[in-house]
Structure 1
Amino acid sequence: MKKIIKYIGITFIIMYTAVSCETLDLDLTQDPNLIRVENADPEFLLNALQLDYHDFISNSEFIISRLTRISPMGMSSQEDGSYNAYLLNYERTTAKGGNILSETWKVFYVNMLRDIELLKEQARADTSGTYNFNLAVANIIEAHCASLLVDFYGDIPYSEGGNFLNIRNPKLDKGEDVYEACFNLLNEAIAILGADPAPINTKLTDLFYDGDATKWLKFANSLKLRMYKNTGNTSAFNAIISSGNFISESSDNMEFSYGAYRNAKSNRYRFDYPNTDNDPVSKSNWLMNTMQTKNDPRIRYYFYRQTGETPGIDIPANTVLLPCSDETPPGHYSGFAYCAVENGYIGRSHGSTLEPADLITDRPGNSIATLYGVYPFGGLFDNDRFQEASNVNFPMIVEDTGNGVLPILKASDIDFWRGQMASSSSEKMNFLRSAMEKHIAKVTTFISQDTSVDPMTETTIPSTTDIENYITDITNSFASASGDAKEDIFAEQYFISLYGNGIEAYNYYRKTGYPTTLSPTWSTSPGTFPRSLAYPETELNNTNIPNGNKPTSDQVFWDTNPASPTFPIAN
């Protein structure tokens, strides 16, 4: 980023919230959400809109990734281990303001839509074209968030949703109609960006692409690919691919870079590392076990182990260090990692009502929870140090770490989509290889985030040969497999690559049912897998919302698979 927004005195600080979500708190001379129509500034509004976009994606990811084991679906001991209990915890409002799903809903409807409408009104009133870039970016952000809400909830208030001052009970629009509106937004943005309108504003900082209209254009087309992939529109999907104007290289990835700003650090990093009042966020036993079993070279970048031995597996059980280490896994967990994973990968299983990470980190000097690694949130690289991540062991840890990214849409994602839409097994395998190559190459660049490791001398960094052998092993396994086994290999690699933002895993899982190798829930009676989310509790006073809310068994319009519980298989 070449300049900081001087006009509004913006300082980027990641703050803690009562619901463990990620929010960018701004030191603004004026709250952008209190701007009146008569003095709305399209430049100022877009600055605020971009930060709300970060919050929307990050908070959504925090919840959605847990449904597909990229992160663990944790429960308190007072909950019954069901999907409904998990989701209800994040739908309810609290005395402190609200939980993640209700807060994310509010970010879109109260903050974003209002700012977008003000921005568009002012931008279109200026016939000089000064704000064309702002208008295009606002369209793209709106289209992405609105289409994601359809993917999460199904039918949503949209055409009347932003006019809450005049319409107290906005109608629910069909998901397919909202998708169509999103395509229209993207088409308008693409037309504007095709003229390469440089952001000539003095107060605007483009937080994502530094004013590069061509990269925003690729992102807009990539969002159309996302919706065509969900709806199965192969011809429209392939037409964009044929144009070549989409995110195909990692240099064009859409991501929020925390390290671009002074004092900005990912909240995920802040939960795991010193100088916070929080306990680490538990890591997924399924993901760590899958990666370790397959000897995935990314595992040292994804996770930092504070111990190399797991109580109850590598060494005798120790209920002080790991409360569940003396438990016998139930029969339905046969073949899956239950309490933790061997070799010091201490996480949490899907739907566990125990809280090993929370419990063990309350004891200074006895913390063995696995922490976020160097990718994507800027923690430590795992080089078998097996040291507690403390200021004493790592004096550089506060100043020199935490400068990671929030991945939003990557070139590797689109290769996986192309594999999903491929017409032959061989074509799908080629995209599997390409996706892994791009993603692993991206991940390994993050070694520079850990200044306590010297890349020139560090022997635990996976070599080029290690990486190529891994990719070859996976593609060979894919080539020789058949049926579900083939699809599982592809889906597992896709899910592994979505670490840091697992939103699209939820879509893929409902669309395909793969992978079937996901670990079961801790409870033997978790209830029906949610094919959509219930509306946040704050919306239940809308008379257009079904009485008593809608069941999470409702399927979004593009999910045409059999009803749960027979689908997806792993649930």
Structure 2
Amino acid sequence: MKKYIITSILALLFVGCSTTDDVNLDDHAFYNTTQESLLTYSQKELSDYMNTPSVNENNFRLTMQYWTETIYVNESNYDFTNRNVSNNVWTDNYVNVLKNLDQAEGIINAYTPTPSELTTWPGKKKNQLAIIDMMKIYTYQVLVDTYGDIPYTQALNIDAYPLPKYDKAADIYSSLITKLTADINNLSASAGTFGNGDIYYKGDIGKWKKFGNSLLLKLGIALADVNPSLAQNTVNQALAGGVITLSSDNCQFQYLGASPNENPMFQETGSRDDFIAGKTLVDYMNTNNDTRISKYYTDVDGDYIGQVIGTPGEFADFSNAGAFAYTATTPGVILSSTEVLFYRAEAAARWGIGGAPATLYADAITSSFTDWGVASDAVAYIAAHPYNAANWKKSIGEQAWVAMYNQAITSWNFFRRLDYPQLVAPATAIPNADGKVPVRLQYPAAEATTNGTNYAAASAAIGGDRLTTKIFWDIN
């Protein structure tokens, strides 16, 4: 009997399984499941990784100096090896997300439709495969942007390739763009999808098309400095296809109010006092009279106070994360309209594509203020911080950094691509950071020990497995 394994006990929330008295079967594995349940699980796992502040998995709120730690400040000082962070990032994405999506794809391709489904199944199959693949593409981009060269062509075929080779990051990007273009074209609003098994969009093909084009835009913008021709062609194609323009079209996971389906921020902050506001962003927002600060952080007797990055601090003495981080049902954002507007502003600034950069810059800031419930303050803020065409990277980079407060992995990409804001590493940062804010994660230690030959080749190819080795598109 074919066995499809879901790698976490959390899957019990979403998947029903058939039981048997056969003592030769593993009671902890799922022997019969559906592509819908695997999609649900993968969507939650992807959202959990992108949104968790767990120091064991996602430290980018610390890296981007939004937060710092109260007592154990290892990760605020870029020590990611103490907790094997990179191993967990690798497993989260390759096993919990990609492998389960791959299993769902296998179920779809193996399915034999009943006689009543013969006319509807081909269209539904194409839609399901396209959605699965778009989620894979999103996840692979996250991995490339985190590490550089990674396993790709051999990554998910464990039987044939137990020790997969690493593909060139630039080649992966080209492949992702080609695949995503085909996926978008394969989507049909007249055919079925996953229904309620799709937590992100509930099977709404129109929204999936906007997501696909927005992801295409994100891929194109990332290549702006290293391959401007492919970047512009990809961006033009994305904009022509129609991207996310409204927050109602955001790609996000709606968490629930009961354990274990709360937002992972709530799970990390609700029972512990591990994080306080980082001085870098708090000071910037105070200086610039940014009213979003009341949503981002709590006040201390009417003031907003951040601690020096990498320095311990008492929880009660500094601002903490705002109410959103202590709310179980806060959605987990995957790709937002605000993010897309900043990409559009950047495309307009670079190449004159898609509109006036100053207008799109203002629209992006307004979108962020609206998302945080202070829309009426956007006009005054923009007037005080107008778009600067002579240094558009600073204008867009700094404002994207502020706006992407709750999308820290995305913020890290803006920072590396535009070189703004000009963050300074703490004096207490580990020596391996070489006095700089990290621009990549090192490969997992488990890869060095179990896939040593391919790991060594990849490390040499990217210029060394270091926190300071730039991703291929980060050439400035």
Give deviations 1:132-166, integer Å, cap 9, x for gaps. 43322211110001111111111001111112244
SS of the equivalent of 1:258 reads coil
TM-score (norm 2): 0.80
* Aligned mates of 1:80, 1:190 — CA distance in 2: 39
* Aligned mates of 1:298, 1:183 — CA distance in 2: 35
Partner of 2:307: 348
Residue identity opposite 1:199 in structure 2: T
- The 1:370/1:265 distance shift into structure 2, 3 A limit, reads farther
* Aligned mates of 2:76, 2:36 — CA distance in 1: 46
* Aligned mates of 1:463, 1:226 — CA distance in 2: 25
- 8 A Cα contact 2:131 2:183, kept in partner: yes
- 8 A Cα contact 1:66 1:72, kept in partner: yes
Q: How do residues 111-122 of structure 1 correspond to structure 2 at under 5 angstroms?
A: 111-122=96-107
Residue identity opposite 2:293 in structure 1: I
The number of equivalent residue pairs is 431
- Note the C-alpha offset of 1:187: 2.5
Determine if the alignment matches structure 1 residue 207 to structure 2 residue 112.
no
Partner of 1:403: 329
- 8 A Cα contact 2:393 2:418, kept in partner: no
Partner of 2:398: 492
Would you tell me which structure has more helix in proportion to its own residues? 2
- 8 A Cα contact 1:33 1:111, kept in partner: no
* Aligned mates of 1:215, 1:260 — CA distance in 2: 26
Structure 1 gap segments, 5+ residues each: 1-12, 16-22, 93-99, 310-342, 362-366, 380-400, 445-461, 562-571
* Aligned mates of 1:297, 1:81 — CA distance in 2: 26
For residue 110 of structure 1, the aligned residue among 95, 102, 112 is 95
* Aligned mates of 2:235, 2:144 — CA distance in 1: 23
* Aligned mates of 1:262, 1:87 — CA distance in 2: 28
- 8 A Cα contact 2:338 2:368, kept in partner: yes
Determine if the alignment matches structure 1 residue 185 to structure 2 residue 179.
yes
- Note the C-alpha offset of 1:301: 1.2
- Note the C-alpha offset of 1:122: 2.3
For residue 384 of structure 2, the aligned residue among 462, 465, 473 is 473
Q: How do residues 118-267 of structure 1 correspond to structure 2 at under 5 angstroms?
A: 118-126=103-111, 128-129=121-122, 130-199=124-193, 204-232=196-224, 233=228, 234-259=231-256, 264-267=261-264
Residue identity opposite 2:397 in structure 1: A
SS of the equivalent of 2:332 reads strand
- The 1:502/1:196 distance shift into structure 2, 3 A limit, reads farther
* Aligned mates of 1:153, 1:488 — CA distance in 2: 25
* Aligned mates of 1:183, 1:32 — CA distance in 2: 41
- The 1:88/1:286 distance shift into structure 2, 3 A limit, reads same
**Greater displacement, 250-259 / 150-159:** 250-259
Partner of 2:117: none
TM-score (norm 1): 0.68
Q: How do residues 16-415 of structure 1 correspond to structure 2 at under 5 angstroms?
A: 26=13, 28-30=15-17, 34-35=29-30, 39-59=32-52, 62-72=58-68, 76=72, 83=78, 86-90=79-83, 92=84, 100-126=85-111, 128-129=121-122, 130-199=124-193, 204-232=196-224, 233=228, 234-259=231-256, 264-273=261-270, 276=271, 278-305=272-299, 307-308=300-301, 343-345=303-305, 347-350=306-309, 352=310, 354-356=311-313, 360-361=314-315, 367-375=316-324, 377=325, 379=326, 401-415=327-341
For residue 545 of structure 1, the aligned residue among 455, 465, 476 is 455
Determine if the alignment matches structure 1 residue 416 to structure 2 residue 408.
no
- 8 A Cα contact 2:93 2:139, kept in partner: yes
- 8 A Cα contact 1:43 1:134, kept in partner: no
- 8 A Cα contact 2:69 2:274, kept in partner: no
- 8 A Cα contact 2:69 2:275, kept in partner: no
- Note the C-alpha offset of 1:200: 6.0
- 8 A Cα contact 1:123 1:132, kept in partner: no
* Aligned mates of 2:237, 2:90 — CA distance in 1: 31
- The 1:236/1:29 distance shift into structure 2, 3 A limit, reads same
- The 1:435/1:229 distance shift into structure 2, 3 A limit, reads same
What is the CA RMSD across the aligned residues, in angstroms? 3.3
Structure 2 gap segments, 5+ residues each: 1-7, 18-25, 114-120
Residue identity opposite 1:536 in structure 2: P
SS of the equivalent of 2:289 reads coil
